[in-house]
């Protein structure tokens, strides 16, 4: 027998092919992980922004006065960068389809860092997120219970997400729903 020292050309080619295939699969894995990470970050930001608006809405007055009469905040402006006591819609019932289109008094626009930008009929330059909310009386107890919904989307066309059958949450979006009932003060 001959004394074999080293590798044959065939062994080197096989090893190189296995290494190349492994590196290609690893590169795909990194790409998928990067996309998933980016999507998770966008969803987290949207969820935080939705929860922030929900807390603002839930903090508005919705109860009874000392005589037992209903008391509702219908004037606080939540669309401004800093909450204003007048000039807004507060907890007034929202028009139909408030979550699927921009309706003044029920929408604000935010930048990458979640800062509220100027309001208006269309998203201003620099808007990354669109935050819409609705306030609807609960059909079974409309005088004392409201359903509050907040939807935060990226500034893009939602396609078929807004249908006659209802609203669908898309990836990178947040949809938060809460119920508020009048309580005696």
The helix/strand/coil state of 80 is coil
Mean pLDDT of the 30-59 span:
93
The Cα angle at residue 44 between residues 43 and 50, in degrees rounded to 5: 90
Average pLDDT, the chain: 87
3-state SS of 113-147? CCCECCCCCCCCCCCCEEEEEEEEECCCCCCCEEE
Q: Please tell me the predicted confidence (pLDDT) of residue 158.
A: 59
State yes or no: pLDDT of 39 exceeds 70: yes
Residue given tokens 């080619």 in the structure block:
13
pLDDT at 164 over 60: no
pTM: 0.79
Residue 118: pLDDT band (50, 70, 90) is confident
Q: Is the pLDDT of residue 99 over 80?
A: yes
Higher per-residue confidence, 98 vs 121:
98
**pLDDT in the model for residue 80:** 75
Q: What is the pLDDT of residue 152?
A: 95
pLDDT of residue 176: 96
Residue range 145-158, pLDDT digits in tens: 999 999 999 987 65
3-state secondary structure of 170: coil
pLDDT for residue 163: 57
Residue 161 has pLDDT above 90, yes or no: no
Residue 185 pLDDT > 60, yes or no?
no
């Amino acid at each position: 027998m001959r004394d074999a020292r080293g590798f044959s050309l065939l062994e080197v080619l096989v090893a190189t092919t296995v290494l190349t295939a492994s590196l290609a699969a690893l590169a795909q894995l990194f790409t998928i992980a990067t996309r998933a990470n980016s999507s998770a970050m966008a969803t987290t930001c949207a969820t935080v922004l939705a929860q922030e608006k929900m807390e603002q809405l839930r903090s508005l007055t919705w109860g009874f006065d000392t005589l037992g009469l209903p008391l509702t905040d219908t004037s606080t402006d939540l669309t401004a960068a800093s909450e204003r006591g007048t000039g807004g819609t507060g907890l007034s019932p929202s028009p139909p389809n408030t979550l699927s289109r921009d309706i003044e008094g029920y929408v604000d626009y935010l930048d990458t860092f979640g800062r509220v930008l100027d309001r208006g009929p269309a998203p201003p330059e620099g808007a990354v997120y669109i935050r819409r909310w609705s306030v609807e009386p609960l059909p079974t107890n409309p005088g004392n219970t409201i359903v509050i919904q907040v939807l935060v989307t990226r500034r893009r066309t939602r396609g078929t997400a807004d249908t006659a059958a209802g609203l669908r949450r898309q990836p990178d979006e947040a949809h938060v729903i809460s119920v508020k009932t009048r309580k005696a003060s």
